[in-house]
Chains A and B, each alone.
Chain A
Amino acid sequence: MKVLVIEDERELSDSICSYLANEQFVCERALDFHTALEKVSLYNYACIILDVNLPGGSGLDILNELKKEMKIDGVLIISARNSLDDKVFALKAGADDYLTKPFHLAELGARVAAIIRRKSFEGKNQVILNELMLDLSEKEVRINNKPIDLTRKEYELLLYFISNKNKVIAKNAIAEHLWGDNMDLADNYDFIYTHIKNLRKKLIQAGAADYIKSIYGMGYKFSA
């Protein structure tokens, strides 16, 4: 699967690519408007990560071009503008999701994974990882085909981990994912610890492997 990163800031673009690139994804880059336009009209991508402010034009014009050509590439807008209007406008124009800078790569990873899931497994809506099975429409988790009871936060946490599997996720990124940036309480890490501890206990008790590891108190890693 190919992912295209359209972002004029080379350093940021580098980071995104090295985070996303793995056995599953191939990451391509476009640093300006015209390269981007050329690439999107020539190839198909599973997901396009699109910055709004580009040298040479607006990212929203690329989005319009995609829609005109009836392409079904998933589009995740990344922008420094964080007002509700900007988000609504981008989503109405046909973007699949909107992420405000500065963001955590883990958050980006989760959003990209969600978009690709939505685009590629139409109707099925399941995530399967070894003995784990997540039903996305029912928000239900089964282990070895036996349903387990998770709270909403625990479910979100598990999906977040699976979307970023084999990556170390910083505590800050987890806090922000679970509570959003508005709550201004993301520095309350004890709280995250409790949730992760409970999730881990429930998974192990239901017969799953011990996937979640703490990394020096810096963050957590879901290894599979």
Chain B
Amino acid sequence: MKLFAKYNRINLLATIIIFLLASTTFYIAIKYILIGQIDDDLTIEEREIKTYIKEHNILPEPIPVKDQKITYSLSNELLEKRKFRTVPAYDPQDKEKNSYRVLQFGVGANGKNYVATVAKSLEGTDALINSILLITSTTILLILIVSLIINRVLLKRLWKPFYYTLHTIRNFRVDKKQRLDFPFTSIDEFAFMNQTLEKATNQAQQDYLVLKEFTENASHEMQTPLSIIRSKLDLLIQEENLSEEQSKTVQSTYQAIEKLSRLNYSLLLLAKIENNQFAETSSLNLKLKIEEKINAFHELWQSQNITVDTCLDDTTIKMNNELADILLNNLLSNATRHNVPGGNIKIEIRNKSLRISNSGAQKELDPRRLYSRFYKQDGGHGQNGLGLSIIKQICDVSGFEIDYSFTPGQHLFIISWI
């Protein structure tokens, strides 16, 4: 839900509740006051009637007054209590229903007991209340509409810099060397936010750059000691009188150096791809390229009894030649290494996509961490966990999409281009 919508919803609800409560209270209060007024009039009438009877000992002649009726009726005993009530009555003159406020009290005249009823029409009062209510509700409605419009327009304008900033920050890539351009705003909070964001993003880019350079430099620096260790090992095994124990030690050292060299190579490769050192692209015949790789892997597949199915459409893609080699080598190496003896590999080019699937572990790879550096599925020792990161990175710089899907025992990677 948008901020406006949320704000408007709360605002509207609160306003309506307050207005409803206020109107109800207002209505009750006005009614109470007006009825009180009429009751006062009725009491005055009562007092006049009683005074008249005290003086003359007869019931006064009712004088016809508009909206007022006085009647007397005989009763057996004297009514002690006065009684106010509101009664609805039909007015034949106006041909409409009208309410009356009625006061009944007992009087004695000529030795007889009467109940005097003084009734006053509430027509005027009702009309007054109705018009007050009408005016109030119209005002409320107007206020609601106007405030809604003001909120909409004003808030939208007020929040404009915020949305602009949001838009700018959405295009932010830590690995791109672009400076973010935040708009000027006169609102302190937004200006402060922009300032903070600018500082944070610049810092992030700076840190990223330092880290990237560090990786590249570290990998480069490691190359020389690695060369020395490797060459010393190559010399060491020339010794005639190495014992079997010593040979085993040397063998283990070789493996470790091999792993380290490979890791170093992969890290350097990643850094180079990120640094756009493979920017030059050309049109490649993917089918020929894959057939070349299939030839290279053929022997290996045969020795592991892996069957390979291919269905290759003639396709040309645009990408860096070296990266294409690395990409295919990595994909096919993965499909081979994570295969099972007697398994299968399927390579297809169709619909602007390359699909490579292989039989393998029964467990799905974690799709969220699949391309993270150093991610290893259980039992993945021996690899450095950079293969898929490199694949992903190559796809990214080449403008390809990569997808992974799993059906029990089959792992499928789809690389698609436009």
What is A's interface to B at a CB cutoff of 8 Å?
Answer: 9, 11-12, 15-16, 18-19, 80, 82-84, 101-106, 153, 167-168, 170-173, 179, 181-188, 190-191, 194, 215-219
Chain B window 205-235, contacts with chain A (Cβ cutoff 8 Å), 1 for yes, 0 for no: 0000000000000001001101111111111
CB neighbours of B325 from chain A (8 A): 182
Selected interface stretch from B236-244, B358-366, B395-403, B404-412: B236-244
What is B's interface to A at a CB cutoff of 8 Å?
Answer: 220, 223-224, 226-235, 237-238, 242, 244, 247-248, 250-251, 254-255, 257-258, 261-262, 265, 268, 272, 277, 296-297, 299-300, 303, 321-322, 325-326, 329-330, 333, 336-337, 382, 387
Q: Are A105 and B261 in contact (CB under 8 A)?
A: no
Chain B nearest Cβ from A31, distance in angstroms: 14
Contact A19:B231 (CB < 8 A) given known A168-B238, A181-B265, A186-B258: yes
Highest count of chain B CB atoms <10 Å: which of A18, A101, A182, A184: A184
Q: Are A187 and B329 in contact (CB under 8 A)?
A: no
* A105 to B250 alpha-carbon distance, docked (Å): 15
* A105 to B223 alpha-carbon distance, docked (Å): 15
Chain A nearest Cβ from B192, distance in angstroms: 46
Which one, B226, B300, B303, B329, contacts A102 given CB within 8 A?
B226
CB neighbours of B232 from chain A (8 A): 11, 15
The 4 A-B pairs of least Cβ separation, nearest first, read A15-B231, A216-B247, A105-B234, A102-B227
Q: Are A11 and B228 in contact (CB under 8 A)?
A: yes
Which one, B257, B300, B326, B337, contacts A182 given CB within 8 A?
B326
Which one, A167, A187, A191, contacts B258 given CB within 8 A?
A187
Q: Are B244 and A187 in contact (CB under 8 A)?
A: no
CB neighbours of A102 from chain B (8 A): 223, 226-227, 229-231, 257, 261
Q: Are A82 and B265 in contact (CB under 8 A)?
A: yes
What residue of chain A has the Cβ atom nearest to residue B333's Cβ?
A184
Please name 15 pairs of A and B residues whose Cβ atoms are closer than 8 Å in the assembled complex, sorted by A.
Answer: A12-B228, A15-B231, A16-B231, A18-B235, A19-B234, A19-B238, A84-B321, A101-B226, A170-B254, A172-B258, A179-B296, A183-B329, A183-B333, A184-B262, A188-B300
CB neighbours of B262 from chain A (8 A): 184
* A12 to B228 alpha-carbon distance, docked (Å): 5
Q: Are B227 and A103 in contact (CB under 8 A)?
A: yes
CB neighbours of A84 from chain B (8 A): 321-322
Chain B nearest Cβ from A224, distance in angstroms: 15
